[in-house]
Structures are given as structure tokens and as C-alpha cells.
Amino acid sequence: MRLGVLDVGSNTVHLLVVDARPGARPLPAYSHKAELRLAEHLDDQGAISDAGRAALERFVAEALEIGEDKGCQSVLAFATSAIREATNGDDVLRAVAESTSVELSVLPGAEEARLTFLAVRRWFGWSSRRLLVFDVGGGSLEIGIGVDEDPDAALSMPLGAGRLTRDWFTSDPPDRDEVRALRKYVRAEIARHAGLVVRFGAPDHVVGTSKTFRQLVRVCGAAPSSEGPYVKRVMARSVLEQWIPKLAAMSAGERVELPGVSPGRAHQLLAGAIVADAAMDLFGAEELEACPWALREGVILRHLDTMEPEDFA
């Protein structure tokens, strides 16, 4: 069957069309996305602006039409931290539903971590034993650890790269004191929750997923995306640590020149690197491997797991 997955994230709104069936990996058939940066459309009261809401409505309507054109039997639509934490999130959801008939499901942070963990487990399999998974998004950091498909612990913290860039940096490149203050804050926040993870034991395989990690792994020397998803891509913390002062000294325009860095995310790459470095250090991970599957794939896999055989007839 052909499914559409509409992911309303803090940075990007993404429609992924896949061909899926039980027992097989979802095969991407079409992708359509836009960098709406909803997390940057927040006013002083934490509400998404009228411009941000209107842009979201336009994209959802467009995505729905594309899904129909591509033959999707259904579209799974969900939103993450930008909508979840906006003070007018319910109003935005209602406006989208009224104008497009699409009911966006808002994922709780812990559920976002669990679904991402499921995708990583399916990608790497049981041979990875105890997995520790990090996902640095635009609005939040998700962490999951466990030996099964459902993690033993699943956490979400407001440490997304876009959020931190907006809240902590006032110049481009950022002031040195701002970088130091952010580093201190991020490490204190992760350390407050570390006990919930480390009590389950040391991981056998540490994984980073989603766009921030893919870009950082590429900057640190991994193979480009053009070599395909099955190439092993590993990032050593020692290399990432060396890159942080270099990124801090660069403007967003200069970071775009780095391998694998997109113009839409260059401005928040430093904050993402600070979070990634802190998470790896505080959990004792000397290296991690990038995973091409993340939350969207987790949503698809969970949906397939809950369907009845006749649904695929």
C-alpha cells in the first residue's frame, strides 16, 4: 500500500510518500518539504504568528493534494515540539483542520523518542543489543535506551538546535560568552536527566539520527549522502569537539560552505553541535553511528504493526 506521512516539525514540514507492507522496509516513493521554521515564528508570548499559521495551512493543503496525486491510500499527519509547546497550538491545529480537513496529531515528547527508537532498532536490528539513541531536532532533544523495540527509557528535553539558537545567540557569529553560557546550560539540563538513562546500563551501540546529526557526521568526515543509506557513517566525539570552536567562529554563510550543510540549517548547526557533544560526553559515548531512519519511519512502522491483514488486500 502507498502511505503518506506528513511531519510538521520545528524546522521543516515534510511529506514523505512510501510504499509499505508488513515485513518489508518502507520504500520512499516521493518527498516534498519546506523549511517553515515554525519555532522561529513564535512571538514573545510563545504563540505561533499569523504568518506561521498561514504558511502551515498552505503547505498542508499542498501536501494533501500531492498525496492524492501520488496515489496515497491515507496520510498520517503529526506535529512535534513547535505545535506541542506553542501557547496557541490548539488554535493552530483547529485552523489547519478547518481549512484543509487534516487532523494533525500532536506527539508527546516521550512518544516521539519511542517512535524514533523503534525506527533505529528496526534499521540496525537485534545485533546492536542495548541501543542508546539521540535525536537533536529543531525544538527538542530526544533520548531513548533499551534492548527491545520499545525503549526502557524515553526522554524529551527542550534542547532543539533551532530553539537554542533563537534563545541564546544574538549575533552571527555568536559572542564567545553566549557560546560558553549555552554550553553550560545544555550540560546542566542533560545531566539532570542522565540518571533516568544510565541506570539501565552501558549501551552497546550509540546512534544519532535526524538532520542535525547527519550534517554533523558529514562535517566530521563521513561519506556524503550520494553514496547511499547503507554506507556506515561514524562520528568520533574527539573530532566533534574539535569542530565546535571552528563552527563558533564561522558565520552562517561560512558554514554553508561546509560539506553536507544546508542553507536552512547552517545558522543552528553550532547549537546542534553543542547539544550533540554534551550528550555524547555525559553518557560516555566516544563515537556514534548515524542512522538514516528517524521519527517518520517510526510512525510508519508503528502504523503497519497495528494494521489488520485485510487492510493490505
Instruction: Look at residue 165 and tell me if it is in a domain.
Output: yes
Clarify whether residues 73 and 193 are in a common domain. Answer: no
**Shared-domain flag, residues 19 and 141:** no
pLDDT at 42: 81
pLDDT attached to residue 37: 86
Whether residue 209 is found in the same domain as residue 69: no
The domain boundary residue, chosen from 57, 80, 106: 106
Q: How far is CA 256 from CA 79, 217, 225, 273, in A?
A: 28, 15, 16, 15
Residues 78 and 158 placed together within one structural domain of the fold: no
Q: What is this structure's pTM?
A: 0.94
pLDDT of residue 22: 79
Is residue 96 located within the same domain as residue 166? no
pLDDT of residue 4: 95
Radius of gyration of the chain (CA): 19
Look at residue 36 and tell me if it is in a domain.
Answer: yes
Query: Does residue 191 share a domain with residue 203?
Result: yes
Task: Tell me the pLDDT of the chain (313 aa) as tens digits.
Answer: 899 999 999 889 999 999 988 778 899 999 999 989 888 778 888 899 999 999 999 999 999 999 999 999 999 999 999 999 999 999 999 999 999 999 999 999 999 999 999 999 999 999 999 999 999 999 999 999 999 999 999 999 999 999 999 999 999 999 999 999 999 999 999 999 999 999 999 999 999 998 999 999 999 999 999 999 999 999 999 999 999 999 999 999 999 999 999 998 999 999 999 999 999 999 999 999 999 999 999 999 999 988 766 665 5
Is 305 within the bounds of a domain? no
Q: Are residues 153 and 252 in the same domain?
A: yes
Q: In the prediction, which pLDDT does 55 show?
A: 94
Confirm whether 303 is domain-assigned. Answer: no
Residue 211: domain span: 109-296
Question: Number of folded domains in the chain?
Answer: 2
Evaluate whether 136 touches 159 at the Cβ level (below 8 Å): yes
Same domain, 156 and 57: no
CATH number, domain with residue 117: 3.30.420.150
Q: Are 302 and 118 in contact (CB under 8 A)?
A: yes
Provide CB contacts within 8 A for 74, sequence distance 6+.
3, 4
Of 85, 106, 127, at which residue does a domain stop? 106
> Do 69 and 114 share a domain, yes or no?
no
Residues 186 and 203 in one domain: yes
List b or e across 6-19, with b for residues whose CB sees 16 or more CB atoms inside 10 angstroms. bbbbbbbbbbbbbe
Quick check: 86 and 47 in contact, CB under 8 A?
yes
Domain shared by 284 and 140, yes or no:
yes
User: Cα–Cα distance between 40 and 139 in angstroms, integer?
Assistant: 10
3-state secondary structure 26-75: CEEEEEEEECCCHHHCECCCCCECHHHHHHHHHHHHHHHHHHHHCCCCEE
Instruction: Determine, yes or no, domain membership for 308.
Output: no
* Cβ–Cβ under 8 Å, residues 220 and 236: yes
Q: Give the CATH number of the domain where residue 43 resides.
A: 3.30.420.40
166 plus 275 within the same structural domain = yes
